A and B are shown apart, each in its own frame.
Chain A
Amino acid sequence: MLILTRKSGESIRIGKDVVIHILESNSKQMKLGISAPREVPVYRNEVYEKIQSENRAAATSQQASLKAGLESLRAMKGKRSDRKDPDHG
């Protein structure tokens, strides 16, 4: 990991297209401005890591659990349709 020390008003360039501006800083937090091309997404890292975790969990959902879940949703949908047509059955 590259470690740099910057003050408010200074900036960091990553590659030729991404610049991180230090706008304000104090002992508790720092305000950053990020200039990047539109096609480069910028995320809070903890949010990105959360999505990674969710995708991995989705990919490892067990077949049996998926099938049970689908059957359950289908049964629920069936009950809702019955309630909408009280004259049937």
Chain B
Amino acid sequence: MMNAPVSQPAEPKIMKRELSYGEFALSETQRLTFRQGLPGFEHLHRFTVAELTDFSPFSVLLSDEEPEISMMIINARFLKIWESIRIHPREIEPLGAQGLADIDIWVILRTDPATHAFTANVKAPLVVNRKTGQSHQVILDNDDLSVQYPLSEGLI
């Protein structure tokens, strides 16, 4: 008797959309929801994370509601200061996550317009529930963390 074919679990569908970010090629990775928006953009709640295909591991956070609003980001684990970025359970629970294994931590990047040097805001990282995309930006108490952590020396 022939065995019935074993069905493979379906691959998760990734909805690819046309994303534009100047000359950069993008690969969409995740959709995020910020219930409280972001400081400075409190009215924006839905964002897409897309990896810069040619500049991994850098990604961009694109507003779904106002396409002209976007910020470059990087997963905090790529920073030397990573272990100092301590997220308290009270910052995780409102996202419906159980612990650190359920979240990703991203930091927002900016450049100095004169030198083009990148800095990362490690004082106020983005905390993301990996499964649901529920997210918020938290402001950490640690005074040793800077809003402009230089990437030139800080990348792993």
Q: Which residues of A contact B (CB under 8 A)?
A: 38-39, 41, 43, 47-48, 50-59, 61-63, 65-70, 72-74, 76-77
Does residue B58 face the partner (Cβ distance < 8 Å to A)?
yes
Residues of A within 8 A of B23 (CB): 63, 67
Shortest distance from the beta carbon of A54 to any chain B beta carbon, whole Å: 5
Contact with A69, one of B24, B70, B116, B147 (Cβ below 8 angstroms): B116
Interface residues of B in 69-113 (CB under 8 A from A): 69-72, 90, 93-94, 108-113
Given contacts A61-B110, A61-B111, A63-B23, contact A38 B94 (CB under 8 A): yes
Option from B22, B110, B123, B124 in Cβ contact (under 8 Å) with A63: B22
Specify which of B38, B41, B93, B110 is in contact with A57 (CB 8 Å cutoff): B110
Interface residues on B, range: 35 or more
* Cβ contact within 8 Å between B38 and A68: no
- Which residues of B sit under 8 angstroms from A69, Cβ to Cβ? 111, 116-118
- B111 near A59 with CB under 8 A, answer no
Name the residue in B111, B117, B118 with the highest tally of chain A Cβ atoms < 10 Å from its Cβ: B111
Expressed in whole angstroms, the minimum distance between the Cβ of A82 and any Cβ of chain B is: 16
Question: What is the total of A-B residue contacts with beta carbons within 8 Å?
Answer: 94
Give the nearest-CB partner of A39 in chain B.
Answer: B94
CB of B58, distance to nearest CB on chain A (Å): 6
* Closest A residue, CB atoms, query B89: A38
Contact status A59-B69, CB under 8 Å: yes
Q: What B residues does A38 contact at CB under 8 A?
A: 90, 93-94
On whether A54 and B108 interact (CB within 8 A), knowing A59-B70, A73-B152, the answer reads yes
- Interface contact B116-A72, CB-CB below 8 Å: yes
The CA of A86 and the CA of B137, in the complex, are separated in Å by 42
Min Cβ gap B45→A in Å is 14
17 contacts between A and B (CB under 8 A): A43-B139, A47-B139, A48-B39, A55-B38, A58-B121, A59-B41, A61-B109, A61-B110, A62-B113, A63-B21, A65-B112, A65-B113, A67-B23, A68-B116, A70-B55, A73-B118, A74-B55
